Structure 1
Amino acid sequence: MSETPYDATTDLEDTGSGAPGVMAPGPLRTDVVVVGAGLTGVVTAQLLADGGADVVVLDACGARATTTARSTGKLSVLQGTRLARIAARHGDEVVRHYLAANFAGLGWLRRTLEDLNVPVENRDDLTVAATPEQVADVDAVLATCARQGLTAQWEEDPPYPARSYGAVRLPGQAQVDPLRMLSALRARLRARGVPVYDGVRVHQVRRRRSGVVLRTSRGAVLADRVVLATGTPPGRLGGLFLRLEAGRSLLTTWEITDQAALPPGFDETMSITAGSPTRSLRTAGGLLMVGGEGYPVGRERDPARRLAALEEWTRVHLPVDQPRHTWAAQDYTSDTGLPLVGPVVPGDDRVLVATGYAKWGLANGAAAGLALAGRILGDPVEWGRTFEPWSRRPTPRASTAATFAVQTKGWAQAATRPTGQRPGAPCVSRICPHMGAVVRWNEQEQSWDCPAHGSRFEPDGTLIEGPATEDLSRR
């Protein structure tokens, strides 16, 4: 799959101790260490630095590999059917807090990106009923918006390229080039004197009486607190990996061959369907972006089939020729259906986490940064408690049962010590070092993917992402 289409205009190298962008070996001492330099991490670090804290940011890869950079770049509080689902499960008061968090995150991003001269394009957001069965879901979205005082409206004939049965339109939302945004935020951190070290992987987080100790690929880091903004916490901290489902989403961009063939008003909106198969649409820098066909990590036997379905649908319904870019992004959904932002262990603020954005990580990611920084600096946000990981009882779901099923199957297979080898790569153990599930080869993305908790590995076993903290062992 080709890389994302975004072109960062900012140099991504960071300056800290030692060589530029390189963490010097040996113990490092700081007030707060932020692990993960996606949107949540850089927002948290910036706010902490503004509040006078000594902060260091560690990232295993770099800006282009973050979920932020690989996102659709939508800045919206509508978010498909999410508001209605939260209302049905948790009630309108939780929806109110969720909206307050997202509006706070969007407001911070708009103000900050304006200061950084990063373009933010205003768009109306649409949740589209693509089938008759989805009309009830869209009606529920509209009703939830009305109860919350949002200026959403029903649209009988939305500017959607395929057949539709109406949509909810929420004006005043926006879109952004996510890599350009992230690059500018990282550059501002560097200018503020906050080091952002790429290529540093955290292998272990240990709590101690006076703070935390991180064992990393570049040595030990000692801090009063650690913020884990890595998509899912590394290792087995707090057992949160049991409460998260890892999902991959496919995205493509296309050159538009005939602008006049697009529905009138299409380029003034961004949209997503209310049900499966998901179709997420927007224009981006003269290109058309189409996303969808998501699946749980490691459980799809033929991801290429899903990509083919997405491309086929695009060619049928839109004036395009061949895809310009194709890529995938990974995100996590929690058992509560809400972001998990706060202490990994109840009552212990030494280790804080932010995850569970369910593919809406820009507004939620900025909001999580506001909540985490406020908590550390002693100025908590009003809505923060709603998203604390242990503020409500964990709720097993059908996906939880599926995860345990593949985990149990993996343990049974592990007794045979399964291995795998790809051309040009060494033979590796297929037993995931996180919890012992058996990884599956993903031909489309050329990776070993764990079906239990979403860890992914290069063909040679090198860890890419997920809760695992070590590579696949080589045989």
Structure 2
Amino acid sequence: MADEKIPQFPEPYWRDGIDFPEFKQLDGDLETDVVIVGGGITGITAAYLLVNEGVRVALIDAGKLLNGTTGHTTAKITAQHDIIYDELISHFGINKARLYYEANTNALNFIKNTVNDLKIDCDFSEQDAHLYTTEEQSIQKIEKEFQAYQKLNIEGNIINEIPFDIKIYKGLVMKKQAQFHPLKYLTHLVKVIVDKGGYIFENTVAVNIERDENKATVLTRDGHRVTGNGVLSCSHFPFYEGTGFYSGRLHADRSYVLATKTNMDYPGGTYLSVDKPNRSIRFTPVDGENLLIIGGESHKSGQGVDTKEHYKALEKFAKDVFNLDHFDYRWSTQDLATLDKLPYVGEITSGVHNILIATGYRKWGMTNGTAAGLLLADMALNKENPYQTVYTPSRFYADPSLQKFFKENIDVAKHLIKGKLEVSNKYAEELANDEGGIVMVNGARKGAYRDTEGKLHIVDTTCTHVGCEVNWNDGERTWDCPCHGSRFSYTGEVIEGPAEKPLQKGDHTMLENLTSENSGY
């Protein structure tokens, strides 16, 4: 099992067998009512709501729809976001903690009602959500979280066991949560958007915004302009930061997922350990069987051990608990966390009414992303929304934001300096097929990957966002930035922002010299 070869380009189960609509690249200027940047759950939800109100919408995505964080989720629809409510009460008070719970519960109900109203076949089912600990020192965390549930009138209860071969010390259930197939759900909403006259453009990279009091224009990398009364930035990391300094207020985390078909009698429910490294368990029906989905191994993007080790750790867990040694799917995912763990949704800067953003879902994007779509649509329509103050990006609480602000930016500075000073004792010509890493080329630090056919790909390792040095991700064959989570393909193309420009590639002379000197590879 431990030596099972990891697929070269891991793809999530959710994308398997889905007939995705295709949309052309924007090839000219366009005027509309609202411009939406980002084709994940937030952008699509907001677009769906707005076209239903007769608003002209243009949605643009840098790549393909639903191929980012939304397409790589575990797809739990729940307001149980790990151990969070005791912390929210401590930092923000009972009222705001309750509003956060209500916003996510409202999002769950919106998805449920939309599935029923539109008769969407997306494997939606209600499931109780469970937190649990396998460590005695975490019992108090569970108990304090249960006390927070009671203060907030959340339906839940303490448990002492779960229906798997896992010894737990304590657990906590949140009743009547849910799960679904996110891409079956969202592709249906995309069809509604198009049928009602919404424009959608793929492979269209937004790089900047020009605005005045009445209009906002998105500028694309190809020089085209999309103008509307307002812009909704739903692009994961904000492609345009204004004066919000989001680079210093967000950090990126990665986690990993294994999935396999099984005929085991799954007992129902979704599960998440509060221990570190955490473990997530759920299922989804596939062709009369259950697809068991196991996730976890969270860490800061571009940092930590060889990423293949995270997959191996999940394999061991699956073997120990479920006696599984084969996996049909494996993939990783990335999401952003804010300083205080609540998403930023609303005006990009206080007083800027026609540029709205949504980011920082902390891997709970099915409900937070839907809640954000609902909020952004209301704000675009000048409607009141009770959750606006909870999510507003302009909020600042000294505890915990100030401490986290300094911690995150010290971490960025550390990696910026460390990367510049690091050298490698490995050379590009030493790489075997399907191997990558930091190497020295003509005395300079470079990134190199030799593909399965033996072709060498060399890139400059300086991230094109703020200049940190990227690291090799062996699990996905990508270059990942440890500062703000930008990710690049092995050829240097941008996979995930905030970077907008690709890594500089090695010149032909460099590649030819290395190839001729090492024709044996």
* TMscore range, shorter length: over 0.9
Distance in 2 (alpha carbons) for counterparts of 1:385 and 1:216: 31
Aligned CA RMSD, in angstroms, stands at: 2.0
Distance in 2 (alpha carbons) for counterparts of 1:204 and 1:413: 33
Deviation at 1:69, TM superposition (A): 1.7
Conserved 8 A contact 2:127-2:178: yes
Deviation at 1:67, TM superposition (A): 1.0
Deviation at 1:94, TM superposition (A): 1.5
Q: Is 1:419 aligned to residue 436 of structure 2?
A: no
Match of 2:432 in 1: none
Question: Amino acid of the residue matched to residue 112 of structure 1?
Answer: T
Secondary structure at the aligned position of 1:421 is classed as: strand
Distance in 2 (alpha carbons) for counterparts of 1:255 and 1:24: 40
Ranges in structure 2 where 5+ consecutive residues have no aligned partner: 1-6, 424-442, 507-521
Q: Is 1:108 aligned to residue 113 of structure 2?
A: no
Question: Amino acid of the residue matched to residue 206 of structure 2?
Answer: V
Conserved 8 A contact 1:462-1:472: yes
Q: Which has the larger radius of gyration?
A: 2
Deviations 1:320-363 (A, max 9, x none): 23111110011010001101001111210222110111110111
Residues 407 and 330 (structure 1 numbering): CA distance in 2 closer, same or farther, change over 3 Å?
same
Distance in 2 (alpha carbons) for counterparts of 1:268 and 1:100: 24
Match of 2:333 in 1: 329
Question: Amino acid of the residue matched to residue 385 of structure 1?
Answer: T
Structure number with higher relative contact order (C-alpha < 8 Å, ≥ 6 residues apart) = 1
Match of 1:256 in 2: 262
Out of 493, 502, 505, which is 1:474 matched to? 505
Deviations 1:75-125 (A, max 9, x none): 111222122222232222221110111112111111111223233111111
Match of 1:460 in 2: 491
Conserved 8 A contact 2:161-2:167: no
Deviation at 1:192, TM superposition (A): 1.8
How many residues are treated as equivalent by the alignment?
A: 462
Deviation at 1:305, TM superposition (A): 1.0
Ranges in structure 1 where 5+ consecutive residues have no aligned partner: 15-20, 261-265
Distance in 1 (alpha carbons) for counterparts of 2:320 and 2:26: 53
Distance in 2 (alpha carbons) for counterparts of 1:384 and 1:291: 32
Distance in 2 (alpha carbons) for counterparts of 1:250 and 1:53: 38
Match of 1:18 in 2: none
Q: Is 1:239 aligned to residue 240 of structure 2?
A: no
Conserved 8 A contact 2:159-2:170: yes
Match of 2:436 in 1: none
Match of 1:351 in 2: 355
Distance in 1 (alpha carbons) for counterparts of 2:465 and 2:143: 42
Distance in 1 (alpha carbons) for counterparts of 2:410 and 2:92: 22
Match of 1:395 in 2: 402
Deviation at 1:24, TM superposition (A): 4.2
Q: Comparing 448-457 with 394-403, which one deviates more in the overlay?
A: 394-403
Distance in 2 (alpha carbons) for counterparts of 1:213 and 1:408: 36
Distance in 2 (alpha carbons) for counterparts of 1:427 and 1:312: 34
Distance in 1 (alpha carbons) for counterparts of 2:252 and 2:359: 11
Out of 153, 162, 186, which is 1:182 matched to? 186
Q: Is 1:287 aligned to residue 314 of structure 2?
A: no
Matching of residues 49-60 of structure 1 within 5 Å: 49-60=51-62
Matching of residues 44-443 of structure 1 within 5 Å: 44-116=46-118, 117-118=120-121, 119-218=123-222, 219-234=224-239, 236-237=241-242, 238-256=244-262, 259=264, 266-285=266-285, 286-393=290-397, 394-397=401-404, 398-410=407-419, 418-423=445-450, 424=455, 426-443=457-474
Distance in 1 (alpha carbons) for counterparts of 2:248 and 2:421: 19
Conserved 8 A contact 1:255-1:321: no
Conserved 8 A contact 1:75-1:176: yes
Deviations 1:196-232 (A, max 9, x none): 2121111222334542222214522222211111111
Conserved 8 A contact 2:61-2:204: yes
Match of 2:435 in 1: none
Match of 2:438 in 1: none
Match of 2:14 in 1: 6
Question: Amino acid of the residue matched to residue 235 of structure 2?
Answer: T
Distance in 2 (alpha carbons) for counterparts of 1:407 and 1:91: 37
Distance in 2 (alpha carbons) for counterparts of 1:267 and 1:400: 44
Question: Amino acid of the residue matched to residue 325 of structure 2?
Answer: D
Conserved 8 A contact 2:26-2:202: no
Question: Amino acid of the residue matched to residue 283 of structure 2?
Answer: T
Residues 81 and 24 (structure 1 numbering): CA distance in 2 closer, same or farther, change over 3 Å?
closer
Q: Is 1:30 aligned to residue 32 of structure 2?
A: yes
Conserved 8 A contact 1:340-1:356: yes
Q: Comparing 456-465 with 73-82, which one deviates more in the overlay?
A: 73-82
Conserved 8 A contact 2:449-2:456: yes
Distance in 1 (alpha carbons) for counterparts of 2:456 and 2:88: 45
Question: Amino acid of the residue matched to residue 401 of structure 1?
Answer: I
Distance in 2 (alpha carbons) for counterparts of 1:407 and 1:87: 35
Deviations 1:362-383 (A, max 9, x none): 1111111111111111112112
Q: Comparing 111-120 with 125-134, which one deviates more in the overlay?
A: 111-120
Deviation at 1:409, TM superposition (A): 3.2
Distance in 1 (alpha carbons) for counterparts of 2:421 and 2:31: 43
Q: Comparing 94-103 with 398-407, which one deviates more in the overlay?
A: 398-407
Distance in 1 (alpha carbons) for counterparts of 2:322 and 2:445: 45
Distance in 1 (alpha carbons) for counterparts of 2:71 and 2:319: 25
Q: Comparing 448-457 with 141-150, which one deviates more in the overlay?
A: 141-150
Question: TM-score, normalized by length of structure 1?
Answer: 0.92
Deviation at 1:8, TM superposition (A): 6.6
Deviations 1:172-191 (A, max 9, x none): 11100112122122122112
Distance in 1 (alpha carbons) for counterparts of 2:241 and 2:457: 28
Question: Amino acid of the residue matched to residue 55 of structure 1?
Answer: V
Distance in 2 (alpha carbons) for counterparts of 1:7 and 1:399: 34
In percent, how many aligned pairs have the same letter?
Answer: 27
Q: Comparing 204-213 with 227-236, which one deviates more in the overlay?
A: 204-213
